[in-house]
Chains A and B, each alone.
Chain A
């Protein structure tokens, strides 16, 4: 939705001049803000002054209030929560940005997860009171919003309150909220004008000078219904005999508004009467829109006069650009128009649709086209705006339009089919996509004689564009279903050949898919290349969160290649970008978890276990926050490997149990945790225990999986004299080595060669084992792998010692370097070696001393706590911690946590 209209929805209506003060109600509202309450419910039919009261209250106090004036169109959950966050951001910059980002991603997380992020964000930002007003809440009827909002209410931070104003109660267990004293209600009887309020309104505000009898008669007839009194007052203004009017009104049984509307309109110039009726079809109006509907050129002046005359006109911004009628008044005018000139209604909606279309306000243009039952125009508008609507979380609205169109119409228009296919793919209705794409092919005239698309008015480049989208969608589906990645690569390449440069959104998405396809195909060079292209597109489009996501993907490809120094640098770049993104008020992106996991693996490989642990913990925290299953699994694998390597077996078993709880699908066997359990037993020297776990995996896994995951167990079994043969192991390793060589994955090559050497050594073929190990060392040296060797324990020690002795007999530079590396590995194996580091040379002492608070943060940085945990520890916000951390890094001239800690230790700031 364009900014101007969004602004009118979030605009808090100003109190009208000459309002009747209602201190008794204001007091009740203030009472509702006490800490024990959560909800203020204002429930009454139209015309009881709900919005007016709230506006008076908001302006009478100085707490922060966010406000949304809801429409029927806000029943889309994504739209609703986008507005809610936008409203909150008006009073607190940057609040809820993480939730907003998540909302706008193609596959948003479940609303509970999303709201948890939002709730924590609000809670993190301190205890200053914050109130969210949802006006006209009865218009929200979509169960997903109502349920999510109830969840939000039940978990509301104590500093926050919710005010709902509407014509109907929300379908919630209100009795429970009442019983717990968490809710304050203002209902019809509370809102009616009392005799005193009615008198103050009629005589003081409207200047009518009515007698006590007249006042009583009016109050009796209207029963304190404010809009009734207001219309009666308007009818009486300028009349000589108000008493006669009141007598006639009092004596009539006619529906009050029916009676009074005629009176009010009769009092207006015919010109104004016309204007009122014609513009009543609009939900909101501005002068040039009114001009378009009425054919006048002076709507600006008419609106100004009407506002002065108190004709139920509500300003929607401070500049008096947008207005709306009081809802009830608009309803009356509309019903009158529908009764008198039903055909005119359609014409007016068509004019409104055209005006909005010209302003490029597509959502509004479609709404009016729908109201005019102009299906053709809806289809036309949707078709022309498919690409723009797929961004900005507008997909849900696009789907609604498509659903409201006749199926045949959608099927015959390729762009509409494309839109539906993307929407179905993004929402996981994958089975429905294929028929949809068949419709596109049919609409393009596939299978008929060539050139038939030209008859449908499609230019050749447009046909290519559409075909590019078909391939892109098929590629996307293969990616999310883990389908044939070779086909996915072909489709991505074909899509890129056909999509025009101007459709950078689709091109960027396809470039990422191409990278993922190449990665699965183990063509890391091509994957890297495709992702670098995707990165360039995202950078050019300034899509910061896509940039961070793609940088993380690039790091993973570098990790696959075993280029750990490069991968670590790319991961740090991703974290730096993410931190920069966070500093602009966003929370941490889910994509970052993959970079954190990779860093923990790399630091594990470099035997920097404390730093590896820190990253694994950060990854798990983030993955839990976003509910990402794959990152949770990846994080636990890191965590458990680190705990085993640190010989903290009890903790490792606890983590394994936690990890097993992730496998909640009935019948799914937790194979990865069981394999880790086997490795843990092995590290504890419990070979039979390890073998038993390995045996448990047999019915649930194939041999290749077991070979890759359990070789150390098989080797240990063999060494202990079990009758197993190593023939299968050796042939599996030979095959793995070949695959890894083809893919150019140095880490897998090194690992495979290490296991080959271990197997040959166990078989007593030491002369063959040494060359394999030397080859592993040669591959490993440039990226400084450590754990791949020392994880093998004592047998590796023997073999390394032999290699070292051999290298020392030679005098060439390469042998000397190798000997150096091997002796470092041997001391690491003996637990003596200082950690291998990748950090650049460190600078001299810091220029500026750390503040006391920064020292507190620094000490906690040395613990495994994550930033939010440190924040809780120090009772400050996560952002405050981040700014301290940033300042610490700057003062120590370092770029990351490990480096800063190391520097701090060198400077004696930390023990």
Chain B
């Protein structure tokens, strides 16, 4: 699976939700990296292949009753520093 992910060109998104999510949720959210912040919000960062995949992910967030704070598209350039 991981190889297939790498082969395709994804678009990186950062999604911020209210509440602390444990990192074990990563698999549920399409392998996004899950980082709890100090303000009681959680940041999910990862790649989606296209817009329907992004909407599917947002639907999963909504299905869990999580409150969505922000969705941001991160350009490839800004990720170089990682």
Residues of A within 8 A of B (CB): 45-47, 167-168, 225, 227-228, 252-258, 327-328, 331-332, 335, 338-339, 342
Contacts and interface: CB of A to CB of B under 8 A. Distances in A.
B64 interface: yes
Interface string B64-79: 1110000000000000
Given A253-B19, A258-B21, A339 B27 contact: yes
A45 B61 CA distance: 10
B47 interface: no
Contacts of A168: 59, 62
B51 to A, nearest CB: 13
Interface string B43-70: 0000000000000000100111110000
Given A335-B28, A338-B28, A339-B28, A45 B62 contact: yes
B40 interface: yes
Interface string B17-50: 0011110110110000000100010100000000
Nearest to A45: B65
A327 B22 CA distance: 21
B65 A335 contact: no
A254 B19 contact: yes
A464 B22 CA distance: 60
Contacts of A225: 65
Nearest to A262: B22
Given A338-B28, A339-B24, A339-B27, A255 B63 contact: no
A342 B26 CA distance: 13
7 contacts: A167-B62, A167-B63, A255-B20, A327-B63, A335-B27, A335-B64, A339-B24
B63 A254 contact: no
B64 A253 contact: no
Given A253-B20, A254-B19, A255-B20, A227 B65 contact: yes
B21 to A, nearest CB: 5
A329 to B, nearest CB: 11
B27 A342 contact: yes
A253 to B, nearest CB: 4
B31 to A, nearest CB: 12
A255 B21 contact: yes
Given A338-B28, A339-B27, A339-B28, A258 B65 contact: no
Contact of A47 (B24, B59, B65): B65
Contacts of B65: 45-47, 225, 227-228, 256-257, 328
A332 B27 contact: no
A388 to B, nearest CB: 32
Contacts of A332: 64
A47 to B, nearest CB: 5
Nearest to B22: A258
Given A254-B19, A256-B19, A258-B22, A46 B27 contact: no
A257 B62 contact: no
Contacts of A342: 27
Contacts of A228: 65
B79 to A, nearest CB: 26
A67 B14 CA distance: 39
Nearest to B55: A141
Given A258-B21, A338-B28, A339-B28, A253 B62 contact: no
A153 to B, nearest CB: 24
Contacts of B27: 335, 338-339, 342
A338 B60 CA distance: 14
A263 to B, nearest CB: 14
Contacts of A47: 65
B47 to A, nearest CB: 19
B60 to A, nearest CB: 8
Contacts of A254: 19-22
Contacts of B36: 253
A252 B40 CA distance: 9
Contacts of A255: 19-22, 42, 64, 66
B58 to A, nearest CB: 10
Contacts of B24: 339
Contacts of A258: 19-22, 25
B21 A253 contact: no
A759 B63 CA distance: 82
B12 to A, nearest CB: 23
Contact of B25 (A46, A252, A339): A339
A332 B25 CA distance: 10
A332 B21 CA distance: 13
A802 B21 CA distance: 104
A228 B65 CA distance: 10
A253 B63 contact: no
Contact of A46 (B20, B21, B22, B64): B64
Given A257-B65, A258-B20, 5 more contacts: A228-B65, A255-B20, A255-B66, A258-B22, A328-B63
A603 B66 CA distance: 71
A469 B40 CA distance: 64
Most B CB atoms within 10 A — which of A253, A331, A332? A253
A47 B65 CA distance: 7
A814 B14 CA distance: 98
Nearest to B18: A255
Contacts of B66: 255
Nearest to A139: B59
A253 B67 CA distance: 13
A167 B19 CA distance: 19
A342 to B, nearest CB: 7
Contact of B64 (A252, A257, A338): A257
Most A CB atoms within 10 A — which of B24, B40, B63? B63
Nearest to A225: B65
A46 to B, nearest CB: 5
3 cross-chain pairs, A with B, having the tightest CB-CB distances, nearest first: A255-B19, A253-B40, A335-B28
Contacts of B62: 45-46, 167-168
A373 B40 CA distance: 37
B20 to A, nearest CB: 4
A46 B61 CA distance: 10
Most A CB atoms within 10 A — which of B21, B40, B64? B64
B71 to A, nearest CB: 15
A331 B27 CA distance: 13
A844 B22 CA distance: 91
A905 to B, nearest CB: 69
Contacts of B59: 168
A332 B64 CA distance: 8
Contacts of B19: 253-256, 258
A146 to B, nearest CB: 15
A327 B66 CA distance: 14
Most B CB atoms within 10 A — which of A252, A328, A339? A339
B33 to A, nearest CB: 15
A827 to B, nearest CB: 77
Contacts of A227: 65
B26 to A, nearest CB: 8
Contacts of A252: 20
Most A CB atoms within 10 A — which of B19, B27, B42? B19
Contacts of B42: 255
Nearest to A47: B65
Nearest to A256: B19
A258 B65 CA distance: 11
Nearest to A335: B28
A257 B62 CA distance: 13
Most A CB atoms within 10 A — which of B27, B59, B65, B66? B65
Contacts of A253: 19-20, 36, 40
Nearest to B42: A255
Contacts of A331: 63-64
Nearest to A331: B63
Contacts of B21: 254-255, 258
B69 to A, nearest CB: 13
A595 to B, nearest CB: 49
A255 B36 CA distance: 10
A45 B40 CA distance: 20
A168 B62 CA distance: 9
